[in-house]
């Protein structure tokens, strides 16, 4: 009776293992569809990064969740930035300036798309700010699925980091 129980146990274990493999394959096929859709959006410059968290370099503030729609929208001919800024200014011309340096629209930008060894897509945009002569570098790292991280570098201000997700633009491109 002992060998029969072992065979039954082994049979059950194998069936659970096979069911698990089947579920992984289904999820992988869905993941591939999502990745293809995201790749299409970022390769055609027709996406919006939705920030849902500010990642701080300050150890005391690990992350701040955002409650309003904070976005970076990319189209073929413009970048629309609507993000909060909570960093420091490094030049005297920026002190006391109440304008949010991450709230503007620009048509003066470069766009570069690369992939790394892990399969992350890395978008680098050099954007001219209408708030002065400053140029900002936006780096978006899109991992597996729709999740992404945005790093904003500016010479005269401290670096900002956001986490969020990528989604298609709400209005269709007519270009």
Residue 60 CA from chain centroid, whole number: 24
Output the pLDDT for position 26. Answer: 52
User: Where do the DSSP E strands lie in the chain?
Assistant: 47-55, 63-74, 79-82, 103-106, 109-115, 121-128, 135-142, 147-154, 157-168
The string over 78-110, giving b where at least 16 C-beta atoms fall within 10 Å of a residue's C-beta and e elsewhere, is ebebbbbbebebeeeebeeeeeebbebebeebe
Give CA–CA dist 66/166, Å, rounded: 16
Along the 175 residues of the chain, how does pLDDT read in single tens digits? Answer: 666 666 666 666 666 656 655 554 455 788 888 888 999 999 999 999 999 988 865 544 555 767 678 999 999 999 999 988 776 665 555 444 556 778 889 999 999 999 998 889 999 999 988 776 678 999 999 988 889 999 998 877 778 899 999 999 976 544 4
Predicted confidence at residue 144, as pLDDT, reads 80
Residue 10 is predicted with a pLDDT of 64
The pTM of the full predicted model, rounded to 2 decimals, is 0.74
Cβ–Cβ under 8 Å, residues 125 and 114? no
Q: Which two tokens stand for residue 64?
A: 């701040």
Residues 109 and 127 sit within 8 Å (Cβ to Cβ): yes
Q: Check if the beta carbon of residue 166 is closer than 8 Å to that of residue 46.
A: no
**Helices and strands, counts by H and E, the chain:** 1, 9
């Amino acid at each position: 009776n002992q060998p029969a129980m072992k065979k039954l146990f082994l049979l059950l274990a194998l069936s659970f293992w096979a069911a698990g493999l089947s579920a992984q394959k289904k999820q992988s096929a869905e993941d591939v569809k999502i990745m293809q859709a995201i790749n299409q959006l970022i390769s055609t410059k027709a996406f919006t990064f939705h920030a849902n968290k500010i990642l701080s370099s300050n150890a005391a503030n690990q992350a701040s969740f955002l409650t309003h729609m904070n976005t970076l929208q990319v189209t073929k001919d413009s970048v629309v930035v609507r993000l909060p800024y909570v960093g420091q200014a490094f030049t005297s011309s920026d002190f006391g300036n109440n304008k949010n340096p991450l709230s503007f629209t620009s048509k003066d930008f470069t766009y570069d798309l690369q992939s790394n060894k892990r399969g992350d897509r890395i978008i680098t945009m050099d954007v001219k700010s209408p708030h002065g002569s400053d140029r900002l570098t936006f780096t978006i790292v899109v991992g597996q699925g729709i999740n992404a991280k945005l790093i904003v570098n500016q010479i005269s201000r401290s670096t900002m980091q956001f986490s969020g997700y990528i989604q298609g633009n709400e209005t269709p491109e007519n270009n």
